[in-house]
Structure 1
Amino acid sequence: MEFSKGNNRFYKEEDGQLLAEITWVSQGDRVGVDHTFVDPSLRGQGVAEQLVDRVVEEMQKEQKKIYPICPYVVELFKRKPDKYEHVQAFD
């Protein structure tokens, strides 16, 4: 799925309706991913993980680590440590 890039966010809109979004807060050399939303019509299709992967790709380009704040991202990083350990920031 293609996502638009906004100010500290990636998102998907259709006909003016927000369908999916992930947001983050910049904190120097890392970002705090603080919110993930997927419309019920898209749930169960892996869209939230695609959003996370898009942020991971962007932060790798910017050479920043990700500090997961959003409960979904925290859980995803725990479930798939091999996939995300190279981008995860720790306190």
Structure 2
Amino acid sequence: MTVAVRDNKDRSRFELDVGHELAFANYRLTSSAVIITHTETPRALRGRGLASELIKGALELIRHDGKKVIAGCGFVVDYLEKHPEDADLVA
């Protein structure tokens, strides 16, 4: 499955469409970093790795924008611990 994460700047969240459902990660911006404050996956889709795909895509967008990330929710903290290849993004 190919997934595409988008930055919905109007709603301050990264989004991932999965069929008719939507997974998202809310964020706040600082001058140099993106603070991901909450990650939400629809209950019916949990356990499929979609939240990880969402955060992976969000980090790619953050990297592309030249920003850093601050993990403001437990899922992102855990994700970053499991993916040391993204350690350079951590503010």
Measured against the shorter chain, the TM-score band is 0.7 to 0.9
Aligned to 2:39: 36
TM value normalised by structure 1: 0.81
| Aligned pair partner of 2:14 in 5, 10, 17 | 10
- Cα distance in 1 between the residues matched to 2:7 and 2:81: 26
Give the superposition deviation at 1:19: 2.8
TM-score (norm: length of structure 2): 0.81
Residue 48 (structure 2) aligned to one of 38, 45, 51: 45
* Structure 2 alignment gaps of length 5 or more: none
Q: Which amino acid aligns with 1:27?
A: T
How many residue pairs are counted as aligned between the two chains? Answer: 85
Deviation digits for residues 39-84 of structure 1 (CA, Å, limit 9, x no counterpart): 111111111011111111111111000000011101211233x232
Identity percentage of aligned residues = 24
In 1, the alpha carbon distance for the partners of 2:27 and 2:33 equals 10
User: Which sections of structure 1, spanning at least 5 residues, go unmatched?
Assistant: none
